[in-house]
Structures are given as structure tokens and as C-alpha cells.
Amino acid sequence: MSIWEYANPKKFMQTSAWALPWVSGAAAVCLVTGLVWGFFFTPDDFRQGSTVKIIYLHVPAAMMAINAWVMMLVTSLIWIVRRHHVSALAAKAAAPVGLTFTLIALVTGALWGQPMWGTWWAWDPRLTSFLILGLFYLGYIALWAAVDNPDTAADLTGVLCIVGSVFAVLSRYAVNFWNQGLHQGASLSMDAEENVADVFWVPLVVCIVGFILLFVALVLARTRTEIRARRLAALVARERMA
């Protein structure tokens, strides 16, 4: 049993058909539990008031926006090195999901920043690198759409993904690199001097698990669609030649 078996589209479709309902169900349970718990059953923060409830959307979305790009980087590298089509299609499938998480992080961040910092936006290192990551997602999706040959598109987007990884890393570590700006450091770091209190931490972890599972479910579903689209294109081409 090797992980490379899943590079076979037939094997991937069989396994994902079995896994998708379970992953989707678990994602729904975690998200509903975490968000309801966080919104209705957690107290206000002594400094940030009720805006602390935004953490249950903002932090998981921001984490997954970065992690989605990391997943795309790994699958793109697998395509570049080993030429497994399912891997390239999984990267393509993940991009709109990563872009959505980036948008959620930016919008909820702006809505959170206005009452706390007195501004919707600042050209802070973390915010700026996150905005650029969002633009890389847009460029990545546009490049897939612009190139007709799927293998060439996978090659070019793979290179773009490697370049964009710089901003994925910067989005995560900008606060540490520059040690300036409005955005605080990590809220969940094991070695941070100031971590979120347990009353906020537990529902936050449930939400993070929910976002991870939702990402996996969406990428599985979208990869299945991409595999079908590839097969459809092959059958249509064969019909035209007949």
C-alpha cells in the first residue's frame, strides 16, 4: 500500500467517494459546534469586548488560507517532479477554497480592526503580505483559466505556486520578522507570553478542526470535479476524431 496509488484517478475517485460524506459530516458538526459555542456561550474579553467572537472565524480562516497554499505547494511539487495528474488537479481544486479563506480573513480582520485599531486597514507587514497572498491566489486561478493545455497550465501554475510561497511564509511570520505594525503575534503559540484563555481556546480549536475538515472535504469534492472534467474533455475529443 503506497500513497502513490492515489495518483491513479480511478483509485482516487473510489476512495474519495467513500471518504467525502464522512469528512463533510465531521466538518459540519465541528463548525456548527465551534461557531455556536463561540458566538453564544463565551464571555466578552476584558479588553476587546464582544469583538473577541470574531476570532472563531478570523483565526481559522487565516490559518487555512496559508495552509491551503502550503498544500498547493506540495501537490505542485509532486506534479513537477513525478508528473501525477491528480496531484496537479488537487492543487487547482484547492485554490478557490484558499482564496475564500483569504477573503474571510481579510474581511473579518478589517471589521475587527476598525473598532480595535481605529482603522479598517493599515499597510502593516502581516496585513500587506496577506493581501499579496490573496492576489497570488487570484493570479494562480487566472493562470489555470488562461492556458489551454492542461499540462502546460500545471507547469506554469506550479512555478507560480513556488514563488507565492514566499508570501505564504511572510503572512505567517511577518510579525516575527519585522516586529512592528498593528497586528499582534500568534494567539495559539505554545511559547507565547500571552495566549488566549481556555474559555476562548477550546471553541477556537473546535472551529480550527472544522475549517481543516471543510478544506479537506471541499478539495476532495473539487478534485473529483476536475478529474471528471478531464475525462469529459478526453471523451469529447475522441468523439470529434471519430
Partner 1 sequence: MMPDLGKYAVAVLGSYGAGLGLLLAIVGLTIWQGARMRRALAEVEARAGQGGQDG
Residues that bind partner 1 (CB under 8 A): 9-10, 13-14, 17-18, 31, 35, 39-40, 44, 49-51, 53-54, 57-58, 61, 96-97, 100, 103-104, 107-108, 111-112, 114-115, 214, 218, 221-222, 224-225, 227-229, 231-232, 235-236, 238-239
- CB neighbours of 22 closer than 8 A, spacing ≥ 6? none
Best CA proximity match to 211, nearest among 102, 133, 92: 102
What is the smallest separation between the CB atom of 236 and partner 1, expressed in angstroms? 6
Cα 128 → chain centroid = 18
Nearer to partner 1, 18 or 123 (CB): 18
- Please tell me what DSSP assigns to residue 49: B
What is the smallest separation between the CB atom of 172 and partner 1, expressed in angstroms? 20
C-alpha cell at 237: 475529443
What is the smallest separation between the CB atom of 95 and partner 1, expressed in angstroms? 11
Nearer to partner 1, 154 or 227 (CB): 227
Nearer to partner 1, 70 or 103 (CB): 103
Question: Contact, 108 vs 120, CB < 8 A?
Answer: no
Nearer to partner 1, 170 or 200 (CB): 200
Q: What is the Cα–Cα distance from 228 to 225, expressed in whole angstroms?
A: 5
What is the smallest separation between the CB atom of 127 and partner 1, expressed in angstroms? 16
C-beta neighbour count of 121 within 10 angstroms: 15
What is the smallest separation between the CB atom of 214 and partner 1, expressed in angstroms? 7
Q: What is the Cα–Cα distance from 238 to 232, expressed in whole angstroms?
A: 10
Nearer to partner 1, 190 or 240 (CB): 240
Q: What is the Cα–Cα distance from 94 to 64, expressed in whole angstroms?
A: 11
How many residues does the structure list for the chain? 242
What is the smallest separation between the CB atom of 119 and partner 1, expressed in angstroms? 13
Nearer to partner 1, 14 or 180 (CB): 14
What is the smallest separation between the CB atom of 109 and partner 1, expressed in angstroms? 9
C-alpha cell at 35: 461557531
C-beta neighbour count of 85 within 10 angstroms: 18
Nearer to partner 1, 112 or 167 (CB): 112
H or E element in which residue 189 lies: none
Q: What are phi and psi of 96, to 5 degrees?
A: -65, -30
